[in-house]
Structure 1
Amino acid sequence: MATFRHPGTVLTDHFLTVPLDHDDPAGETIQVYAREVVAPSTTGKPWLVFLQGGPGSAAPRPIGRDSWIDRALDDYRVLLLDQRGTGRSTRISRQSLAGRGSPPAQAEYLAHFRADSIVRDAEILRRHLLGAGTKWTVLGQSFGGFCAVTYLSFAPEGLREALITGGLPGLSARAEDVYRATYPRVAAKNDAHYARYPEDVDAVRAIAAHLREHDVRLPGGGRLTLPAFQALGLALGSSTGSHELHYLTEDAFESAGVLSDAWLSTVEHRLSFVTNPAYPLLHEATYGQGDGATNWAAHRVRAEHPQFDTGDRILFTGEMHYPWQFETDPALAPMREAAELLAARPHWPRLYDAARLGTNEVPVAAAVYYDDMYVDRDLSLGTAAKIAGARVWITNEYEHDALRVTSGAVLDRLIAMNRGEV
């Protein structure tokens, strides 16, 4: 257990062995890692465990009291959990999956990396660090908020309170329901982007025409198709994403008919999943519950929104994952068969317990971003109404990444809500 210091903080590494399958505690095990962050001379403060968005993203790597952590450290000992499959926990990667053997074996392994397993990991960690009969606060961002609702459903006895930002899932929404709700929101983000930067209509159209007419290869060998280029719209749901996309599209061509190496390198960095392959592998699985395969829901529902494939303007897509990504991205290609098997998986365990949420006694404060491109506002509000005692702050002041970019203001509001101060 290593401990080191940053300006204003003391950080301690924690590693723990947990079952791969919590229903088979004597079976295969994996490693879970979490980083404790405290202010110097901290004593007696309650614990806050942070659940990162994703799936497939490691917890933040803070340097000192940066971002929301500065506000959290005023009141808590912070624990940054690398959810299973990410960071320094047992990681999902091209190399690690290859060691699992056949694609069916890989898919079966990956099925154990959803919110239900993450919550059970957290409970083992809580008992290990705090002792039996103790409770801690959970802060969930985006997918981490989904995990927090799973926590409230199946292990509320471990929670003293829940803080959720941009992460209230539809309790019974299937994957196709989610995309039917979010495709129109993505289209609206495109409208806002082109209203802000009308010159981008022609710039994007020129790039699209080039991609239709040429076999464009990225520096790492992946193929840049028009649908892949459209996937850059994932950024449109963040606070600065529209501006970043504008700068990217204004600087594409080295000369007439030649896309610049620098531009292609930047695009590759944004599109490649070499650092987080679990995101496209497991994203739709986060909506899988009960009988019925997710079956590439984003791909299927896209056909109901032809404006993304026809029309005068080129529309960018958002947080959608498609089967072609496992052909064009070299980092994902070795996992294609496993991805297909996950998409075809006929049954998934339930992630939420509506009856238990209806009798919830844990204080819950949640921020719902009115124009959120990633997590549908209406689905979120429907869930909030079913969690007994939940307090909700609905705001259009911020985008989905508000926790990260507001220097603790969002977290401060959620803490105050649970204390009855606002």
Structure 2
Amino acid sequence: MPELLPFPAFRIPGLVVAERTFSVPLDHAAPGGERIEVFAREVRAPGGERRPWLVFLQGGPGFGSPRPTGSFGSGSVGGWVGRAVQDFRVLLLDQRGTARSTPVNRQTLPTRGDASRQADYLTHFRADSIVRDCELIRREVAGDEPWTVLGQSFGGFCATAYLSIAPEGLRRVLICGGLPSLDAHADDVYRAAYPRMIRKNAAYYARYPQDVEHVRQIAAYLATHDVTLPGGMLLTPEAFQSLGLMLGMSDGFERLHYRLEGALLTVGGERALADAFQEEAQHTLSFAGHPIYALLHEPCYAQGGKPTAWSAERVRAEFPEFSPARATSGDAPLLFTGETIHPWFFRTDPALRPLREAADLLAERTEWPALYDADVLAENRVPVAAAVYAEDLYVDAEHSSRTADHIRGLRRWITNEYEHDGLRSSGDAVFERLWRMADGEL
């Protein structure tokens, strides 16, 4: 059983918050071996200490859980938490390796030893290990009672693995933009993703046609100048394209447009990149706060004995539309990329440079266990409801729909009303609908 180390509770508007740290095995197959810590915040309404549990699994991989700012505020948790605490105690889990859990980063990983040992250590930070952490924590806080799981994006991948590994721990499962393919290789994921990126770019430039030339000028500047951002990141044309990651969010078009509008200025008759733009680009592009995202994004799809082999980089070569030179040497618009990880990130980003060799070893690895059990899912008896966002930049709707067809009893909601961040941007609407669907009320 994990060790529970409770911290005193405190209050913020509308919520009571208690911080907890759990000690869990690094390797659940060796429970007597090394242990790591997993941090979580219990969030409840005043007087709600006897309500059933809901555990929130954040997207990523590699991001900590949202920090509550008040049940009805406009903070990162969004309006859903204010609705959830009316009926649940909510556990906001910092998945292993993230935020206040035992950290994984360029400072801690080298203490594991050489790159081979670092890579071996990182294999314990995928969805299957996260699910087994959840089960230990559930037994500690809820005893024999099953709980509700709410999975956003990669958290939905974890929830699907949960249905495969330990369905007995689940009362209901709610998935937002996170139904994974059960058997697709990373290559299949990216061959589906690049055409979606092309469509998002077309929609962006249709809204902001003035940005076509502006973006081309920025890319041309980067192609002819060596730019090091304030935090040490190298801003190459390809790194600049990665700003397209924000295009899959509800306010992403506007955020990108406003970020770009003052990027270039003229100083003494010469073009230069504005300091403000450089600072914002460093903040947006750096992996310092979430290196697991870069290290394990492709391995989170790995199973079946085939290496990922830097899939996004290889598949990108099949889509010449994304070549920066094509835009800067002609009249084609520069296309931004989305949720893709490339080996050159480990050269341009100082937070990743010391981890390049370990990342290469993960890309070559073939010994990945299966994450999903198709037979168990076909016989599923846990109520499940999933939102599939038809225009989702990050998770392919067709892949999600095929998985929904396979999970017995799953109720899906296909919508183009929301982008990938629908759980946050909708207030409590997406959460409320999925909960009612899972309980058979809608």
| TM-score relative to the length of structure 1 | 0.99
Map of 2:407 onto structure 1: 387
Matches within 5 A, 1:232-271: 232-255=243-266, 256-271=270-285
- Aligned residue type for 2:311: A
| 2:63 alignment partner, one of 57, 65, 82 | 57
Q: Distance in 1 between matches of 2:13 and 2:360?
A: 46
Map of 2:3 onto structure 1: none
Matched, 1:135 2:146: yes
Shift of 1:221: 2.0
Map of 1:6 onto structure 2: 12
Query: Which stretches of structure 1, 4 residues or longer, exceed 3 Å deviation after superposition?
Result: none
Shift of 1:254: 2.6
Shift of 1:13: 1.2
Q: Deviations over 1:124-178 (max 9, x none)?
A: 00001111x2100000000000000000001000000000000000000110000
Map of 1:278 onto structure 2: 292
Q: Distance in 1 between matches of 2:279 and 2:164?
A: 44
Structure 2 portions without partners, runs of 5+ = 1-5
Q: Distance in 1 between matches of 2:113 and 2:367?
A: 23
**The 10-residue stretch of structure 1 (110-119 or 412-421) with the greater mean CA deviation from structure 2:** 412-421
Matches within 5 A, 1:185-264: 185-255=196-266, 256-264=270-278
Q: Deviations over 1:363-404 (max 9, x none)?
A: 000000000000000000000000000000000000000101
Q: Distance in 2 between matches of 1:42 and 1:244?
A: 38
Matched, 1:156 2:167: yes
| 2:180 alignment partner, one of 144, 169, 172 | 169
Q: Distance in 2 between matches of 1:89 and 1:413?
A: 31
Shift of 1:44: 3.2
Verify the 8 A CA contact 2:151 2:176 in the aligned structure 1.
Answer: yes
| 2:111 alignment partner, one of 82, 99, 111 | 99
**The 10-residue stretch of structure 1 (326-335 or 254-263) with the greater mean CA deviation from structure 2:** 254-263
Q: Distance in 2 between matches of 1:42 and 1:368?
A: 31
Matches within 5 A, 1:252-401: 252-255=263-266, 256-309=270-323, 310-311=326-327, 312-401=332-421
Percentage identity across paired residues of the two chains: 59
Matched, 1:32 2:50: no
Matched, 1:183 2:194: yes
Q: Distance in 1 between matches of 2:278 and 2:14?
A: 40
Map of 1:41 onto structure 2: 47
Q: Distance in 2 between matches of 1:64 and 1:124?
A: 28
Q: Deviations over 1:104-143 (max 9, x none)?
A: 1111001100000000000000001111x21000000000
> Superposition RMSD on alpha carbons, in Å?
0.8
Q: Deviations over 1:79-111 (max 9, x none)?
A: 001100001111111111121111111110011
Q: Distance in 2 between matches of 1:263 and 1:43?
A: 46
Q: Distance in 1 between matches of 2:261 and 2:41?
A: 40
Shift of 1:54: 0.2
Structure 1 portions without partners, runs of 5+ = none
| TM-score relative to the length of structure 2 | 0.94
Q: Distance in 2 between matches of 1:26 and 1:383?
A: 36
